[in-house]
Each structure stands twice: as C-alpha cells, then as structure tokens.
Structure 1
C-alpha cells in the first residue's frame, strides 16, 4: 500500500470515529430544557406568620419539559410587587432583589438537576398580608449563563386558590385574612336592592338636574332629518353617525325644514355645558348656547334609546316624551389613565374617549411616563421612546428598561412596550377635542422618572462616546457623582431626577414646548401640564455634589428638602411664561415643617396664590390624612378630589381571593363612587376597607370643608393605575361598571340622601337611590355597553344564591342581568336554563350571570339536598 493510500485510510477512520463519538455523546446528553414547560405555581401558606405583619408563601417549579433543568449555569427572573426577606428563603436557591419589582433566582451548590417530572419548592417570608391573586409574582423567565443577554419566557404562573376562608387556617390573628366568595354572602349583600320595573326607570343617564316625563312619545325613523344652524354642523354630523348605528342609514341634516325633525337650536343664556331637551310627538328639540351643551344634549338623547337598538337596522324606535333642563354639578369630570406602567394602544384610548363622552366626562388626565415607561414621542429627544418605551431582559438598563409587572423578557409590544408617535398623539387630541374632552398630559417628575433618567443616560453615553460632551450633558437628568441611597415605594433606587442640574430645566422646557406644538397642530386647547410630584423618598439628593453646591450658593436653602420647593418654583415659572398653570399631585401643595421636633406636612403658603391645581388622593382611613383634600381646599388650593377610598378604579372590586386588583387603599365596587359625597365624605364612611366598623373617633379633630373650601373643589376624578392592567379587556373590567358611578356623581345634582341630617332617613333614601341606579345599569346601560363602540367587557358580578326550604333562590347585584343555571354540576352556558324563580331541582346547582349578548361571568355553586 502506498503512503498516500495509507494516509487516506487514516483520514477515513478518524472521520468515522468522530461521527460515532458525536452520535454517542448526542444520545448520552440530556435534551435541552424548554422554559415554556417549566411550570410555576404560587401558594399562600400563612398570613400573620409568626404573629407578625408578614406572610409565608411557596413557589413550586415543576419540570414538564423533556429536557432537564441543570444543577448550575442558569438564572430565573420574575416580578413581584413586595419585598422578600432574603434570610427567610428556604430551598436550594437564592433570591435576590435587583431593582423595582425585579428579582433574580440562582441555584445554590446543593441544587440538584431537575429531570422531567421533578419539582422543587421555595418558600419565603414577605411583609404585610397576601389576600388575593394579584399578590402573586409574575413574568418568570429563564436565562442561561452561556447566553446572558437572552431571556426565555416561562409558562405563566398559576395560583393555588384556598379551599376555605383563612379564619380556619393557622395564623388568623387580628390581621387581615383571606376571604372566599360564597353565594350565600353575595345573596345577603344583594337582597336589599329592589327590583324595579324597567319602564318606570329614568330614561336619561347620568341623572339630569331637572327631568319630567310627559306620557307621550316620538317615533324616530331614519327618514327624519336633523335641522340645525351651521354653528352645530359638527355636532349634527356626529349625531347622524351615531343614529346610523341604529338604522343602518345616516340621517340627513340641513339648515331649515318643516314637519317632524330633530331640531338643534342655539339659545342664548345657558351655561357652556348646559342644554335643554324636549321630546314631543312632533319633534325632538335640543337647545344650547355652546357646542359642548349641544353635545351633551345629544348624549342624553342617545341614552334614551334602548341599548339593543345598537344591534342596527331598525325601521323605527320609540322615544319617551320628556322635558329636561340640565347642566353639570362639576366642571371638571375626569378620568386618569396610566399608560406608563402598562401600555394601551391608541385604538383603546379612542374607545375610552367615546365611553367618557357618552357619560359626559370631560377631562382625560393622561399619565404618560413613570419609572417603567415613557410613552410619548418627543422629536428632539428620540431616546425617550427609542429606549424609554421598551421593556425587556437587561441587567444594566443600557438599551432598554427591565421587565416590570410581569411584562416578560422581550419587547414585542404591549403591555410592557409601546408609545404614541407624534401623529398618534395629535389624533388622540383631535378625537378628544371633537368630544369636548380636555386632555391634561402628565410628565411625572421629579420622582417616578426612571424611564426618562435612563433614556437621557443613553443619550449621554452616545454623545460622550462621539466626543460631544456639551451636547451629552445638555439634557442629563442625574448627577453622575451622586452617591445618595434611597428606595422608592415601588423599590427603585435610581428613579428621582436631580433638580439642582440646569440640564433638567433644558429637558423640561423642550418637552413642554413640543407638547404645546402637538396641541397647536391638533387645534386642541392646552391650559395646564401635570408635573406629578408624588412619592419622592427620603434620602434623595443628600450626597449629591450638585445639590450641595447649589445650597452653598443660596442661604435660603437649609436642607435638601428645600430642593423640592426650588424645583416646583422653577417648573411653575416655565409654565407661567407659556400662559399655562401647574397641576400636580397633592405633594406639590405641601411643605415639610417641624412640630414638637417631628416633621409634618402642611399646606405650602408660598404657592397658594399661583392657581396650582392638585389631585388629592390620600385620604386612607387610619393614616392621619383622612382630611387632606379638605385641608388643601380650605387653604386655597384648587383641588380635584381623587380619593383612593372611593375613586381608585384599579382597586379590587371586593375582598374575595379571586378578585383581581390592588387593595392597599380600599376596595372599590360600583357602589363606592356612587355613594361618594364630595363635600362631606365623612358622613357615610363607617367601615374600613375590610368592612369592619370604624371607631366613631376616626374623624375627630379632622378639618371640615368650609364654604371657602367648597369653591376650591374644581371636580372629581376616577383613576386607573395600570400595574395590573395587562390588556384592553382587563382595563374595561376594572373601569366598568365603576365608571358609571363616577359619571353620576360628577354630573348629577347633590342627592337628597347626602344632605339629609337624620341618619336613618338618609340611609333609607340612599337605599332607594341605589336601587334605582342599579336597575338603570342592569336594565339599560349595560346592554348599551354590550354594543357601544364594538362592546365593552365590563365586570359581570357573581350571582348570589341561598338554599331555603328545599329551593334555591338567586339574585344579582344589578337587576336586569340574566342568571342561567345547571343542576348537574356542569358549567352553565348561554343555552342553559334561565333563572326565573326559585329552583326546585336538587343536587349541585351552578349559577352564572350573563350579559345581553350571551357573555358569561364566573359561576357559583350551591348544593340543594
């Protein structure tokens, strides 16, 4: 054999050996883990753990992948809106808090490989109590050490629902306990609500100032014209389009005409939002002085139509004869939408604007930035959205923000990522303008500003790398030499702007001027910009060289607390030079002072005459701030009542475990905003958020609202913070039907029950008013919302049920909603038996509430033996 032949044989055998070795290794190595099949469960073990204000809970990871979870070489990240005590972690992993609500899990040396079917349990202690499913951690994702920049989403966490109320579990004590929804308890809550005849209910919602039915009717057909002066052509166009959804045909509108018609008439002497509506057999007349009044008269007319009319293509519809004179109680009727924590697409914002317009709400307070996102394009500062609108896996926040609120490891869009382009925002402004809604943009500062800070850090790094130091520092929002240590309420340690920097005011002026340009382009009025101002933690600025330098230059500064007043004084001047006034949260109107050596907050006398408007949320019962809205109004500040106890729409509807939403300030069902008494909410505040009677002394020594103070209450506001709002559907669930209680209280005259001094009479009057309101919702407005603008997925309440004398009797919070049931334990569907009276069937009876389109809510179960 030649040397060359021998050489080729060697190559052949080496290659064959390599193939065989690789094949053997491939067969012997375990398959790669699929993180989507690494299943996570969370359960609450015990509240009031060790008789302290803390709870014990457990995470269980179960491997359902064909691949194994290795003993080393990986990390798991998740979001959790609580603080874990590090030393309390039990299991073969470590848990470390990183920043905000982001945590990291790493395996300990004793962690063992997890093959298919294996599980591992991790328990830990957390401060406070855990009372519902929103307390669960979320957004789990997996990262390999060999590829540290890539995060792989894991399966959504499941939550173990307790099978019994916690009073029967260990550690009940005096702390809050887990409550389960029982059909019997719900039945007792509902039974005081009277079921009223639908034809006897008021035809217009919210309740008008003056309303009288005339026992006549007008038959509206698609051939009836709208007669209007040219002043009201835009309103006539909108009415014609709205009625096209009823008839499948657009009504015509013109200047003059005889015979049956809808007549829009300009009448001098009415208020800017006032209107008169008269329906006779021959015509419908809406009188108004201003376009806004005409628009609201049209909304009242729309609510006179049955909701089912929106199914379309009717030939005619009957409208009751009425005589109405109406105007709003408050000029400022607001909804605050947070799109920073979790983003909502433009389409959903426009839909909410339509909802607001229908129910005569006229202010959208638009919370556009926070620690977790910047949502508005600013052309001069592209990093704000190129960087600050994206959340994805990162440990250094150099290219994007980290995941928050379970948004996951990639920036694929809502809820974690997204922003409004300039064109989007102009479109939103125009849409709101046409519906008489004023948009107040909020630029949250100096706290809650991490998205802006990190975006400007990215800009600084880019320009500094290009050798452009001056340009790099022009909009910097932090002192790069600041060694201050602090932690915000949401556990961020780097989310506060350094207000001593001149570059901060360059930033503010640039943002303000671009926002003004967008309003000008939209033809929308801009009167104010909201600059936030809440929740700046202790410890900020104390080790900042820039702050120390500024304090040395001005003897008026005695502590870093003075930086607060310096900042809002500067911002106020920026706005005043542009003919705008400053809005903010309550802290903008407060000043720290010492009383008996203790620091207290008092109304700030130096800004009281600056026409500053403040949204006051903090009246948490037992906090000592129960009277804060009234104190600020009495001191001379313009106050928008934004009370957490009644108006926070992100709060859970009730205290049952499976009801989503926060509860730190209150529980808020549809009755809470309805029963809110703006000028004296002490009057009917008798229980804490858990339903326990408050001591009679809870309001002792608290300021009452003075007549002067009443003049400073400019309006009320419902607020939807977005930590838990992960989709448009969840947004609608949390907003509705609560928003209808807000609409009633913002527009309608002060009710008799709020003025009645005799508590027994007042309660009886309230119960009658509530019954009417509940019936209006269940029998009129919810069927409208099933269809209006594509339909809203409002919360359907659980039915109540009780077994008595061998029969099951059921009821529902909002009479008019349908209850269906099964008697074999299966889940009721839209084809199941309709509940019309006590059920005589025996066995496992399941009941479920349905809307007018067949959408069902959650079911309840009772056993009839």
Structure 2
C-alpha cells in the first residue's frame, strides 16, 4: 500500500536535517556524510549513493572491528560493479548495515568513500540514511560498544540527476520560477467572495444585519445536548476570554439555542442541521445530536478570523441562514502511530481538528510490523516487546523489534519516536474524547501481513513460557510455523512479517485481541461494532515452504495455491468476527482474489456480509474502486493520488514525504470526483499521462455503494506532533470539502476544458479562503497548529522581482541584504527593482511563514531554494 522513506526533515522553523550534534550518547570521532550521486544509472529507476567516513578519533577502523547500522527507505541493493572497501547490506525492513571488506583500514586523520547502488530512485532528504550508529567488536567478534553517530551530514540534492527519478521522470523540477508560473492561475479575492465555512454548507442565505454578542448571551440546550453546549461554551471562551453560561430549556429573550427537530436537507436527515443568526440570537436545530454539533462547528467557523487573532469580549456575526447535511455519512481519517509513535496529547489535538472539519470516523492504526501500540490484558509482551525498538545482536531471529525509521539502537531514546504505547486508560480517554465530538474510533489489527510486531512479541512469550516448562501455554498464541522456510520480501522490505494462517493459535490470538479491545470499549461506555481487519500487502512467496501450510492445502484442495491462503484466512476469520456482531472493514485485498496470472479480481464470496473494503489503489489498478462498487461491495474510497497525506506536497527535495503514488497537496484533496475518479486523476507518479481506455466506470446504480471517503497519514517519515500537523494541514480542509460538501458542479461536466475552467474557479475561492480565513485561525487554536505555509513563487526579469503565492491572501516579504525575511521586512505588492540575491517568504495574518526562497539576480534568475 505504501512505499516509504524516512529521516528527520529540514524545515525552516521547526525541523533541521539530521546533521546531528554530539551528546552523551553520540560521538563525532567518526564523521559520516552521505550523498546521492545520481538517479540516472544503467538500472531503470536505480540510484547510486556514497558514504564518506572520516576518522577524527585516535583508534583505527579495521576490517573486523566495526559495522555501521542505519535505516533507509527500503530498496533492494545492487552488488557493486567496482571493488569497494565496504559493503552495504539490507537486513530487514528499512534496516541496513555497512560492513568493511577484507583489507579495510581507516587510520586516524584519514577518510574513505564507499559507493553503493540500489533500485527505486530517491529524490528527497527524507529518503536518506538516518538513525546511524556504529557497533564496535572485540577481537573475538563480540559486540563491545554501540555508539550513535553524532557528526552526520546529508549533502544537498542540487542537481537534476538528484531531483528526478531517472530519464522516465517527466515531472518538472520544483523551483521558484515554476511556482510563479503555477501561481498565475489564482488571484486575490475580496473577503466577501470567500467561502464562509469549510466544508461548504448545502445552502447558505445571507441576511441584512449583524448580531453582536458576548457572554451576556447564554447557551440554551435541549434534551440530550448538554455535551454539545459545554463544548461550544469552551470554544467561545477561547475566542472571547469569557465564560458562556449553559442552561437547559429556551431563552426568554436573546440566546444561543441548541435543539433537535425534524431536519431534512438534500434528502438527508442524519447529521443534518439548520443554523440561523438573526436579531433573536443564534438557533441551531439538528436532526440529531451530531447535527447540532456540526451546527456549532459552523457557528465557530462564521466568527471572523480577526476575532481569533485578537480576542475580545464581543463577537459580531452577520445574519445568515444555513441548511446543511453531509454528502457522505462516512468521513474518516486514518493515522498510523506504529511506524512512528504519537503521544496521547497529540491524538487529542488531532481529534479536535477532525471535529472542526466535520470528520466523523478515525481509523486508529496501532499495530504494524514496526510497533504494537495498545496495551492488551493477558498479553504483556505485546507492549513490553512489540512497543519498543532497539539494536539486537541476534538480527532477525531475536524476539526483538530492530531499529526502524531512525529510531536508533536504544529503546525509548529521547527525541526518537520508535518506542511507546497507549495504556488502557489512555485509550479509554481517547475513545471518550472522540465520542464527545461525534467521532467513531475504529481499531485495526492487520493480519496476515504487516504483523511482525505481534509475531516477535508472541515469540518472546513463547520463549518465556517454554523456559517455565509450559509448552501448551507457550503455543496458545504463537503466530508462526517454526519450520517455515518460505522466502519473500514485502513491499516494505520485510522477510518475516506474515503470520501462519494454518495455525489455530493465529485465530485464537486474533480473537483474544478483539475481545480485549471490546472490553476496553465497554469500559469507555461504548459498544465495539466496527473492526478493521487490515489484510493488505501479503508478499508473494509467503507460505510456499511452510509444512503447516502445505498440510492445510492438502486438506483443502479447493484453495489450490498458497497465494489464495489470504482469502482463506479472511473467510475463516470473518466467521469468528461475525459471531461478535462486528462489521468488518479492511483494505481492498480482503475483497479480492488473485488470478493465476497474479491479477486482482473481485471476490464475490463476501458481498452482503458486512465487509467494507477501503480502496487505496487507483494508481496501479486504476478502476479497482469502480469494479468493487459495481460488484456490490460497500466501499470507502481512500485513493492514494488524492487522499494520502504522507505523500509530499511537491518534488522539492527539502519538502518531506513520499512520492511513490504521486504528489498530494490541498488541491488534490479538494479536486476529487468520487463517482468518476477518472475526471480527477491524470498522471502516474512519474508524470506520465494516464489513459482509461477499456477500464470499467462506476455504474449509476453502484454509487450508493460508496459509503464514504477516508484520508490516510502513514507515518514512516513523520516524526512528532509538528510534522504530523504539517503533513495534515491544509490538506485536511480539501479532504473535508470532498467528503462533506454537496456534489460540485464540475464533477459532472464531461468536456475537459470546461470542467477544468470550472474547477479552477472553485479552487481559487477555496485557496483564498485557506489563506485569509482558516489557516490564521488554526494558529490560535489549542496553542496553535503547525500548518504548512507554501513558499512563494518568484522570478527576476531585467532586475525586476516578480512574486506571487499559491494561496492568495498570504503576504510576501523580501530582503536583498542576505538576511531572512521577517514580518517587518519589505512587503512585496507589485514588481520591484532589485539587485543581487533576493530572499522571499510567504506570511499569513497570524505571522506564520513559509521556508525561504532565494532568487539570484547575478545568476540569470536562477532559483536556489
């Protein structure tokens, strides 16, 4: 589902590229630098890179006394064509090591260069090696010392061959000049032309007049709406600094009234609401409590941004009438906290953000190859072993999770994100917090692939109980066939991440976890009725040399082939989960079979059985979502080309993120036609135009099977809260528009030219709204969210600076003296004469800024950012 690339990222404000400084755990005695040499190699989509080691210490490195371990976005390594003094080896996942070859010697004061090559070109600093550490060995080859690299540099990606993925990469280089040309498509709008609320309501009717009120106006709530009233009061206090009283019943005079009643908008009642602002105050009528809650979110969005930036005791609202209901009931965000952990506090902040934009589901991805993040009663190893990563001398065989994504050799190391988990109390708090904001949290246990953390944890349990002489108990939850000699490599580079589906203990483990999670939900006062079973990316070759799997195939000849064991597993698991009255969601593979040629085909077996596949693959299998909806499956669309927040905003090497499925910005999230995705998907990840000839379109009668949309944030390159929010904002706003707002006019326009014109007009309004309203507001909420402000576009023509912005309403500040632009620097308002090197930055009304773009007048207008 995802390729991934990992490293701490160079950000202008909060992030610095991993040129680490020494600490007690680190040393600069061996300096390491890494350079991407080129992506234009003899191997299609290959790359060549080099390490340089400089010995600043007093001891020599020999051909036996050291190895350098690191993480790098997983790619197969190609044997060196010429002799090198050391060799890069792939161990497992994204874990690699550099080992000296015979005759290697690096004396104090000397340096050496080691070249290596691999497949799948790299174009981002987030692709570079990270989490480097040396292991030093004694004369007998035993590990003597582990030292993290404290002097590490990644050289800039400055050349074309470093910024393109080979000769087949058709995407233009990201420069200030390119941004300038792209930004010409948008223009500044007056505040009255902005979208009043994101996501847009179905109907909004302005009135004549203004309501001014402060905390003298109380919030009155009807039956069952005290929670919504309390939450609204908290939000209004954040804007005004004053407390708003909440009372049951109705006001005698002016007030903010929350009530339920019959509301039907666009034929939709669930979550629908009406909002009225007039001389009597504010009235929000929802068809249910959710509708009332979303009405309060719209009310908060109507408050002028100036009131958020400069809180005062009074709020002024223009009179307005709103009728609104969601296009899709299922509006979700997925968050992976397994690759890199996020704290409970960060999750709560994210839930607030989702609620603000009317997202009502949260797929909480707490189990993966690289981490198990949820405490489960009776299985302590899941968190004692599965929730932490550390160096292991035993390599793959040890019941330990090895370093990944730069987590380093030490578990729970400060400033690293490889270790951590949520206690039951943490999870209950998250559940309650989300429920109060009308968000359903969906847990996931991804089997049979993506299961390495569970496998290693249960191997640790097995070893513990065997030492205690408890063989029966040891095997109760074991997940592997110990005699399995199958050879495979997962999409993420793992060789040992698939459970054995022939073992009863595998199903027993799954049931145990589901039952314990069910109990946690009950403790939170909730009923678990939806469970996500994962089911994606089982590597070819799994189970092919397992004696237990061979016996299962012998006993079940209809299965025919090991590649069909995934469908077998899901069918058997489904029967057990159905007994627990669960609707089962899963990645698209749960509803697919593989043909003998390896092509995925809809599997009719699970139609009508409360199985909901999530469709992510619209880049390699363009019409898969259409085919599954046409086959009768209820589907959730989470198309990689539009909704993967972890894909980079653009190709700039310093812009963090992935690109295997293309590039995704707020426009991509906004520009999505769910019933005809061919209208909004144009290129491969390499920029090659897509063709849809002969592919299956969604039938009109199948549209009802699209139950909703989901955005995804996989965390391979996401380190900490600031990065999570940077990746998410402002993409989330574009996604919310696609998930909630009524069908946009351009979605049904067949003529591509007319459709693009209509889309551009709509996007211009949305982009202006982001810059002038929503982004500055986010700077004031919950201590401020770390949203991305895009860099400006700029060109120099005849010593004249021309600059513009991606989101009109941002301001541009520039300097010509080499200093960094600040809110007090020269304001760009029109083309201006300059000389020499010019630095430009975008700023919003809250003072948040972009990275700096540099244009050099002495270099014919070349862009240096």
Q: Quote how far apart the aligned CAs of 1:158 are.
A: 2.7
In structure 1, how many angstroms separate the alpha carbons of the residues matched to 2:235 and 2:165? 55
- 2:664 equivalent to 1:668: yes
Pairwise CA distance, 1:841: 3.2
Deviation at 1:178, TM superposition (A): 8.6
Secondary structure at the aligned position of 1:699 is classed as coil
Q: 2:33 aligns with which of 33, 36, 41?
A: 41
Deviation per CA, 1:702-751, whole angstroms, max 9, x where unpaired?
00001232111111111011110112111111111111110010000111
Aligned length: 822
Question: In the TM superposition, what whole-angstrom CA distance separates every residue of 1:679-721 from its partner, at most 9, and x where no partner exists?
Answer: 1111233333344444xxx101100001232111111111011
Structure 1 residue 149: Cα displacement: 7.1
Structure 1 distance, partners of 2:98, 2:531, is: 41
**For the Cα contact (< 8 Å) 2:171–2:686, is it kept in 1?**
no
**Does the 8 A contact of 1:90 with 1:123 survive in 2?**
no
- Of the three residues 701, 712, 726, the one matched with 1:708 is 701
Structure 2 Cα separation of the partners of residues 488 and 599 of structure 1: 16
Q: Is the 8 A contact 1:149 1:393 kept in 2?
A: no
Report the equivalent of 1:207: 200
In structure 2, which of residues 284, 292, 295 is the aligned counterpart of residue 294 of structure 1? Answer: 292
Deviations 1:591-625 (A, max 9, x none): 1234xxx34321111111212001111111xx3x1
1:355-413 Cα offsets, whole Å, 9 max, x none, are 00000011101111111011110011110000000101113364531001111111125
CA contact (8 A) 1:274 1:293 kept: yes
* Aligned position for 1:587: 589
Structure 2 residue 816 is matched with structure 1 residue 817? no
SS across alignment from 1:111? coil
Whether the 8 Å contact between 1:35 and 1:142 is mirrored in structure 2 is no
CA distance in 2, matches of 1:460, 1:141: 30
Residue 251 of structure 1 corresponds to 244
**Partners of 1:720 and 1:751 in 2: CA distance:** 25
Alpha-carbon distance, 1:156 to partner: 6.8
Counterpart-to-counterpart distance in 1, 2:58 and 2:325: 67
Q: Give SS of 2:840's match.
A: strand
Say if 2:88 and 2:116, in contact at 8 Å, map to a contact too: no
Q: Secondary structure at the residue paired with 1:405?
A: coil
CA contact (8 A) 1:336 1:720 kept: yes
Q: Which moved more, 1:559-568 or 1:504-513?
A: 559-568
Identify the range of structure 1 (230-239 vs 755-764) with the bigger mean alpha-carbon deviation. 755-764
Distance 2:615 2:38 in 1: 35
1:734-787 CA distance string (max 9 Å, x none): 111111110010000111111122333222211110000001100000011111
* SS of structure 2 residue aligned to 1:445: coil
Larger Cα Rg: Structure 1 or Structure 2? 1
Of stretches 758-767 and 437-446 in structure 1, the one that deviates more from structure 2 is 758-767
Aligned partners of 1:422 and 1:518 also within 8 Å:
yes
Q: State the 1:150 CA deviation.
A: 5.0
Residue 834 of structure 1, CA deviation: 2.2
Answer yes or no: is the 8 Å Cα contact 1:655–1:690 preserved in 2.
no
Alpha-carbon distance change, 560 to 143 in structure 1, aligned in 2, over 3 angstroms: same
Q: 2:679 aligns with which of 676, 683, 686?
A: 683
Give the C-alpha shift of residue 580 in structure 1.
0.4
Higher relative contact order (CA 8 A, sep 6+): 2
User: 1:850 aligns to what?
Assistant: 843
The TM-score normalised by the length of structure 2 is 0.92
Is the 1:179–1:656 Cα contact (8 Å) retained in structure 2? no
State the partner residue of 1:441.
443
Greater CA deviation, 521-530 or 334-343?
521-530
Question: Shift of the alpha carbon at 1:182?
Answer: 1.9
Q: Equivalent residue of 1:446, what SS? A: coil
- For the structure 1 residues 159 and 788, does the alpha-carbon distance in structure 2 shift closer, same or farther, using more than 3 Å as the test? same
Check if 1:165 corresponds to 2:124.
Answer: no
Matches within 5 A, 1:754-833: 754-804=747-797, 806-833=799-826
Give the secondary structure class of the aligned counterpart of 1:532.
Answer: coil
Judge conservation of contact 1:444–1:533 (CA < 8 Å) in 2. yes
**1:485 matched to 2:477:** no
**What's the CA shift for 1:791?**
1.0
Structure-2 residue corresponding to 1:27? none
Q: Compared with structure 1, are the counterparts of its residues 153 and 178 closer, same or farther at alpha carbon in structure 2 (3 Å cutoff)?
A: farther
Give the direction of change, closer, same or farther, for the CA distance of 1:200–1:863 in structure 2 (3 Å limit): same
* Higher alpha-carbon deviation: 205-214 or 682-691: 682-691
Match of 2:623 in 1: 627
Distance 1:173 1:444 in 2: 34
SS in 2 for 1:204: coil
Matched, 1:561 2:563: yes
* Match in the other structure for 2:634: 638
**Compared CA separation, residues 54 and 149, structure 1 to 2 (3 A):** same
1:265 corresponds to which residue? Answer: 259
Q: Would you say 1:721 and 2:746 are equivalent positions?
A: no
- Is 1:734 the counterpart of 2:727? The answer is yes
Matched, 1:83 2:76: yes
* Shift in alpha-carbon separation, 1:308–1:119, aligned structure 2, 3 A: farther
The equivalent position to 1:431 in structure 2, one of 420, 430, 433, is 433
1:22-33 to structure 2, matched below 5 A, reads none
* Deviation (angstroms), 1:789: 1.3
Measured after TM superposition, the shift of residue 489 of structure 1 is 1.4
Counterpart-to-counterpart distance in 1, 2:420 and 2:465: 25
Question: 2:106 — aligned with what?
Answer: 113
Following superposition, the deviation at residue 56 of structure 1 comes to 1.3
Partner Cα separation in structure 1 for residue 250 and residue 208 of structure 2: 28
Structure 2 match to 1:408 = 408
Cα distance in 1 for partners of 2:551, 2:534 equals 26
- How high is the TM-score relative to the length of structure 1? 0.92
> Quick one: distance in 2 between partners of 1:191 and 1:555?
63
Indicate how the Cα distance of structure 1 residues 73 and 178 shifts in structure 2: closer, same or farther if over 3 A, else same: farther
Q: Alpha carbons of 1:39 and 1:212: their partners in 2 closer, same or farther (altered >3 Å)? A: farther
More divergent stretch after superposition (683-692 vs 242-251): 683-692
Contact 1:307 1:787 in 2 (8 A): no
The correspondence for 1:316, drawn from 314, 324, 331, is 314
**Hey, what does 2:136 align to over in structure 1?**
144
Mapped contact 2:778–2:785 kept (Cα < 8 A) = yes
2:599 match: 600
In structure 1, the partner of 2:331 is 333
**Superposed counterparts of 1:87-106, under 5 Å:** 87-88=80-81, 90-106=83-99
Distance 1:687 1:53, change over 3 A: closer
> 5+ residue gaps in structure 2?
1-23, 859-865
Matches within 5 A, 1:483-522: 483-522=485-524
Say if 1:90 and 1:124, in contact at 8 Å, map to a contact too.
no
Looking at structure 1, the residues matched to 90 and 759 of structure 2 have their Cα atoms a distance apart, in angstroms, of 48
Deviates more, 1:436-445 or 1:153-162: 153-162
Q: Please tell me whether the aligned partners of residues 263 and 273 of structure 2 are also in contact (alpha carbons under 8 angstroms).
A: no
Alignment partner of 1:747 is 2:740: yes
Distance 1:178 1:200, change over 3 A: closer
What is the rounded CA distance, in whole Å, between the counterparts of 1:760 and 1:553 in structure 2? 59
Using the TM superposition, name which of 158-167 and 575-584 deviates more: 158-167
Which structure 2 residues correspond to residues 535-574 of structure 1 after superposition, within 5 A? 535-574=537-576
Query: Structure 1 CA distance, aligned partners of 2:764 and 2:57?
Result: 54
Further displaced range: 582-591 or 755-764: 755-764
Q: Following the alignment from structure 2 to structure 1, what is the Cα–Cα distance between the partners of residues 145 and 329?
A: 51
Matches for 1:206-225 after TM superposition, within 5 Å: 206-225=199-218
C-alpha deviation, 1:110, in angstroms: 2.3
Deviates more, 1:713-722 or 1:89-98: 89-98
SS in 1 for 2:593: strand
- 2:564·2:594 contact (CA, 8 Å) conserved in 1? no
Q: Per-residue CA shift, 1:558-615, capped at 9, x if unaligned?
A: 2223422221112111211111021111110001234xxx343211111112120011
Rounded Cα–Cα distance in structure 2 between residues aligned with 1:38 and 1:748: 56
Name the CA shift for 1:33/1:92 in 2 (closer, same or farther; >3 Å).
farther
Separation in 2 of the partners of 1:803 and 1:412?
49
